């Protein structure tokens, strides 16, 4: 029931009192800030009468009570890349010659999309009016039937390369002659219909020369029962139509309904999952015969319609001799004995079908006996399509269908709108209109120094369409916005991009001022529905402090004893070498034999990927490649990791963060690591027997050599550990009596170094130590088991299925049976005992089954007891458990030396960035972003020494190094850090009362803060 006041009981319903003009409307959403539009305009917004050669481009026409645009007569007028929406009747009406719509969008018209007429049927003169490359959807809003997306009625009209979807009734309803209905993509129409077809014509003996070819019609079904809904419907003796090369898939009714017409050609069509393939009848001699008559104004007077066309003229006789042969006499033409009312002359040949409920041929009155030809039709199911699951219904090159004589492969890539712009950064597609820059797709340029810094990003314009794409903007890549001058196009793309080809351009960011700098990129092309392509970019303008003068050396100390450590050693190979793009060794595809990892996300791939990693590692190293896809992994029974890189020179590589996804399905993962990078043996805390050498003398802060009691067994090139213990003297010196207790397991300062020279008992180290080592604290040098070297993870995304349990309180991690207990202490990625490793272009993601915005269950990525590990260009976020006890951390470093995190982003964890223990020293977090954590990014416990936060953007995040009276047992966290540096911090979206809080033992340094949040809290603790 519609338009009845007392029946309004659902959002979206309305009632209009036409007597008073009062509208009663139940809105679908809150109206606060909404705009309500009521149109009183009853005439088209644009009306052309007998005009020629006009172009209307990139306009939006909307909100009339009738049509939006109308072309009456005239020649060569066109709407290009225009949007038609929200009107009362048909969106556009077109007559004349060579007029039409190209690359337009039509949505929410009250009736149909575009009506085409023109041409002359008697003389078979084509009009050439057209609707092409257009997207038409949600039509028939008010008129539910016989209001199609496109209605060509005339001679020589063109309906090609359109995308038509979501409607109650027919997509294309055509009539006349020589009309071209080709290469259209149609789905989800006829939703509220019965006895209808996605493409429809009917009741015309003279419907000759029409071509319905190379259309993809799929998922056609209706909520109504009755006579069904079909793919292509030739109703009531419509004759002379060619139906060729169409793909019909998931049609609830007939793929093709042939309603008794003559000379119908049905060839080279592919039909799958339809009620039946071709339903044919001879209704002209059957149930419909009683309705066929000689009343000139009746639609069933078929002969009268032919006479109106002068169907036996020389023109028609030459073009359609079969039609001209129909007697121009009612008695003869309508006599059942003469067969003119049968589907005679029709052809059913070279059609391929699979899984049809009633088979290819379905009839209830022996209609197929009248066909001229039925030949070479074949049921073929495997293989049939290239990628049916993703609706790539091109014929598989190995399909037996191609062996059928004269069967032609359907040009599937040409179906639908032609020319398509796909803009990519870092191999990741950027959505048109994207307003949220991201490091993952290079629209976020991170940070650059305002004095001399630049960041260059390369972008790709791909054309996956089947026709050349032309860039037409001036300039080809335009920059606009408040800070557009801070960006420049440093390499321009080509003007034309061939089908299935690409071109590239570069943008350089060189900020002129501090803080966030933004701009918009605009690219204009002849893309059919994204002719104006825009996306936002941003970068952060920073500066380098003049604190380091030109004569600065690592030994520089001011008069009060203050100094800055040299952080130039952080990262892969001490910052001296780039991460290799082509590591030595083979590239092994884990989806291929003998491993056969499943990229469809259907079966578990843990064993397959692990076997590939082990095989590559045991063979001396290489790359294990995970091509695009989703790979399910899980914790094997009795094991604390899902995947493990245990051999040197082994790299796990995906196809990109937007293409390769690792999804962990295990949720009971207490203390586990989903992806563990760790050798089979080794810990920096375990001394190899006979290798421990006590220091003969104290070693000062920043010392580059130490004196030992002996150097027996040591050699240049050895990787060694220097450390001291947590003695009572050490505790007293730091004022932590009663907070810390003596322990040989709780290490004091710990440094991982390489021996570069030995002179007597003096050992020279590759880099300075960062804190005094004292003999009273059992200072010593020793060797441990070999580190895992030259290992990496890159170009993929990783996520964990959400834990379904309850119990997520801060202390529930110690309560058995709670969700917190079952995920406590787990990590998505953990580097342990690694020297020279990396994680680059690795993101987290939310698996599709997660009901909450959850990427990881507890901690995300951690580096422990390692040196020279780089994390770069990673975006990680969203932990399910953010409780106490060491849960919910983003990127963490524990007892790790000289590691680097750069161009990373951490979002919404308990602590986004975190340092732990005195063994965490010499590390740098550089030009990275922290957003909206529960608590601060911090130095967390046990005196992390001499680390750097450099050029950080803290968006609702803040940095801390303070005294922390937290923890349990005999050792509280106490002094969390000393000699740590916060340099050039930009604060925005203030969450705490400060952007930096520094309360460090001895000295700590805060140098330069800026932005909306610049408050700094400083306390020096001696």
* Token reading at 319: 């073009």
The 3-state secondary structure of 831-847, one letter per residue: EECEEEEEEEEEEECCC
- DSSP reduced 3-state for 821: helix
Q: Give CA–CA dist 892/910, Å, rounded.
A: 11
Domain ranges in the chain are 1-36, 42-189, 422-542, 693-782
Q: Is 441 within 8 Å of 428 (Cβ atoms)?
A: yes
Q: Give CA–CA dist 273/388, Å, rounded.
A: 12
Average pLDDT by stretches of 10, the chain with 1022 residues: 83 90 90 87 97 94 97 96 95 98 94 98 98 95 95 98 97 99 98 97 98 98 91 98 98 97 98 96 95 91 97 98 98 94 98 94 91 97 94 95 95 87 92 93 86 88 80 96 95 90 95 83 89 94 51 74 87 88 94 98 98 98 98 97 98 98 98 98 93 97 96 96 96 93 83 97 96 98 97 98 97 97 98 98 98 98 98 97 96 97 96 97 95 95 95 94 85 92 89 88 89 76 50
Q: Give CA–CA dist 591/530, Å, rounded.
A: 36
Global confidence as pTM = 0.53
- DSSP reduced 3-state for 101: strand
Q: Give CA–CA dist 940/890, Å, rounded.
A: 13
> Torsion over CA of 223, 229, 230 and 236, rounded to 10 degrees?
-170
So what's the pLDDT on residue 554?
A: 66
Q: Give CA–CA dist 448/519, Å, rounded.
A: 15
Give bridge partners of residue 395 from the DSSP assignment: 385
The 3-state secondary structure of 833-889, one letter per residue: CEEEEEEEEEEECCCCCCCCCCCECCEEEEEECCEEEEEECCEEECECCCCCCCCCE
Rg (CA), the chain: 37
Cis upstream peptide for 594 (omega within 30°): yes
* Token reading at 265: 């050609």
Helix (H) / strand (E) containing 315: helix 314-319
Tell me whether strands 242-244 and 265-267 are parallel, antiparallel or unpaired: parallel
Q: Give CA–CA dist 1016/928, Å, rounded.
A: 19
Of 891, 893, 897, the C-alpha closest to 868 is 897
Beta-strand runs (E) in 669-787: 673-677, 693-694, 705-707, 719-726, 743-759, 762-765, 780-782
Of 81, 101, 102, the C-alpha closest to 93 is 101
So what's the pLDDT on residue 325?
A: 98
The CA–CA distances, whole Å, from 569 to 426, 580, 924, 987 equal 28, 18, 9, 27
So what's the pLDDT on residue 663?
A: 99
So what's the pLDDT on residue 35?
A: 85
The single residue listed with the structure tokens 């306009």 is 59
Looking at the structure, give the CATH architecture of the domain made up of residues 422-542: Sandwich (2.60)
């Amino acid at each position: 029931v519609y338009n009845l006041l007392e029946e309004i009981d659902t959002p979206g319903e309305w009632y209009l009192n036409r007597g008073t003009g009062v509208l009663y409307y139940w809105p679908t959403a809150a109206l606060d800030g909404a705009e309500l539009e009521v149109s009183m305009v009853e005439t088209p917004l644009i009306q052309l009468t007998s005009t020629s050669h006009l172009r209307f481009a990139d306009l939006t026409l909307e909100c009339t009570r009738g049509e939006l645009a109308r072309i009456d007569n005239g020649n060569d007028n066109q709407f290009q890349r225009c949007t038609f929406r929200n009107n009362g009747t048909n969106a556009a009406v077109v007559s004349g010659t060579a007029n039409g719509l190209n690359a337009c969008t039509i949505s929410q018209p009250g009736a149909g999309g575009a009506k085409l007429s023109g041409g002359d049927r008697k003389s078979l003169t084509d009009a050439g009016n057209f609707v092409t490359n257009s997207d038409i959807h949600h039509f028939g809003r008010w008129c539910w039937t016989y209001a199609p997306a496109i209605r060509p009625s005339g001679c020589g009209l063109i309906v090609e390369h359109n995308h038509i979807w979501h409607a109650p009734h027919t997509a294309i309803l055509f009539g006349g002659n020589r009309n071209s209905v080709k290469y259209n993509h149609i789905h989800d129409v006829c939703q509220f219909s019965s006895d209808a077809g996605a493409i429809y014509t009917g009741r015309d003996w003279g419907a000759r020369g029409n071509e319905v070819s190379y259309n993809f019609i799929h998922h056609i079904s209706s909520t109504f029962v009755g006579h069904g809904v079909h793919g292509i419907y030739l109703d009531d003796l419509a004759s002379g139509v060619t139906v060729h090369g169409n793909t019909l898939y998931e049609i609830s009714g007939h793929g093709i309904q042939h309603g008794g017409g003559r000379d119908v050609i049905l060839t080279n069509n592919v039909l799958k999952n339809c009620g039946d393939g071709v339903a044919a009848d001879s209704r002209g001699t059957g149930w419909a015969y009683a309705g066929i008559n000689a009343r000139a104004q009746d639609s069933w007077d078929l002969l009268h319609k032919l006479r109106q066309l002068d169907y036996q003229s020389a023109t028609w006789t030459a073009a359609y001799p079969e039609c001209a042969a129909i007697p121009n006499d009612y008695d003869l033409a309508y006599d059942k004995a003469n067969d003119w009312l049968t589907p005679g002359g029709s052809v059913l040949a070279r059609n391929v079908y699979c899984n049809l409920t009633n088979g290819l041929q379905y009839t209830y009155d022996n209609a197929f006996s009248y066909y001229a030809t039925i030949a070479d039709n074949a049921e073929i199911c495997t293989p049939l399509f290239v990628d049916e699951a993703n609706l790539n219904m091109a014929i598989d090159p190995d399909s037996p269908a191609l062996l059928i004589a004269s069967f032609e492969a359907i040009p599937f890539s040409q179906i639908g709108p032609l020319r398509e712009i796909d803009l990519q950064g870092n191999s990741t597609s950027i959505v048109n209109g994207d307003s949220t820059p991201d490091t993952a797709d290079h629209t976020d340029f991170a940070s650059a120094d305002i004095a001399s810094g630049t960041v260059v990003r390369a972008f790709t314009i791909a054309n996956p369409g089947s026709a050349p794409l032309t860039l037409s903007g001036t300039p080809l890549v335009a920059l606009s916005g408040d800070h557009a001058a801070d960006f420049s196009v440093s390499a321009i793309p080509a003007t034309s991009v061939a089908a299935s080809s690409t071109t590239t351009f570069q943008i350089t960011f060189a900020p002129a001022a501090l803080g966030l700098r933004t701009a918009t990129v605009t690219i204009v092309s002849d893309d059919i529905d994204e002719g104006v392509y825009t996306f936002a970019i941003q970068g952060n303008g920073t500066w380098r402090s003049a604190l380091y003068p030109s004569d600065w050396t690592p030994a520089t100390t001011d008069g009060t004893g203050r100094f800055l450590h040299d952080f130039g050693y952080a990262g892969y190979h001490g910052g001296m070498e780039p991460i290799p793009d082509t590591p030595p060794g083979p590239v092994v595809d884990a989806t291929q034999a003998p491993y056969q990892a499943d990229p469809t996300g259907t079966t578990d791939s843990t064993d397959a990927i692990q076997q590939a990693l082990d095989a590559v590692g045991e063979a001396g190293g290489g790359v294990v490649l995970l091509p695009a896809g989703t790979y399910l992994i899980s914790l094997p029974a009795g094991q604390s990791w899902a995947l493990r890189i245990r051999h040197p020179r082994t790299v796990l590589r995906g196809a990109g963060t937007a293409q390769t996804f690792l999804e962990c399905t295990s949720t009971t993962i207490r203390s586990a690591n989903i992806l563990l990078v760790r050798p089979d043996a080794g810990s920096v805390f375990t001394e190899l027997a006979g290798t421990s050498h006590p220091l003969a003398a104290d070693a000062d802060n920043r010392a580059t050599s130490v004196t030992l009691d002996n150097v027996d067994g040591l050699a240049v090139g050895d990787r060694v550990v220097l450390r001291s213990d947590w003695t009572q003297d050490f505790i007293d010196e730091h004022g932590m009596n009663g907070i810390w207790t003596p322990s040989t397991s709780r290490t004091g300062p710990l440094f991982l170094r390489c021996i570069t020279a030995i002179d007597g008992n003096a050992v020279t180290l590759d880099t300075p130590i960062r804190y005094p080592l004292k003999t009273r604290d059992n200072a010593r040098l020793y060797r441990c088991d070999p580190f895992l070297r030259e290992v990496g993870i890159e170009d993929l995304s990783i996520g964990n299925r959400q834990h379904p349990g309850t119990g997520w309180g801060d202390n529930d991690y110690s309560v058995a049976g709670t969700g917190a207990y079952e995920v406590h202490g787990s990590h998505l990625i953990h580097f342990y005992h690694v020297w020279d490793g990396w994680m680059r272009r690795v993101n987290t993601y939310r698996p599709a089954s997660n009901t909450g915005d959850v990427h990881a269950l507890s901690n995300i990525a951690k580096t422990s007891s390692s040196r020279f590990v780089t994390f770069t260009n990673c975006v990680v976020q969203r932990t399910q458990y953010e409780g106490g006890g060491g849960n919910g951390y983003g990127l963490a470093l524990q007892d790790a030396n000289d590691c680097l995190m750069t161009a990373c982003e951490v979002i919404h964890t308990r602590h986004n960035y975190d340092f732990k223990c005195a063994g965490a020293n010499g590390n740098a977090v550089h030009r990275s972003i922290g957003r909206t954590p529960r608590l601060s990014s911090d130095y967390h416990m046990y005196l992390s020494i001499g680390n750097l936060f450099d050029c950080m953007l803290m968006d609702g995040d803040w940095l801390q190094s303070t005294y922390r009276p937290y923890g349990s047992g005999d050792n509280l966290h106490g002094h969390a850090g000393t000699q740590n540096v916060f340099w050039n911090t930009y604060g925005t979206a203030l969450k705490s009362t400060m952007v930096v809080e520094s309360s460090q033992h001895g000295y700590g340094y805060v140098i330069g803060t800026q932005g909306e949040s610049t408050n700094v809290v400083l306390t020096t603790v001696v």
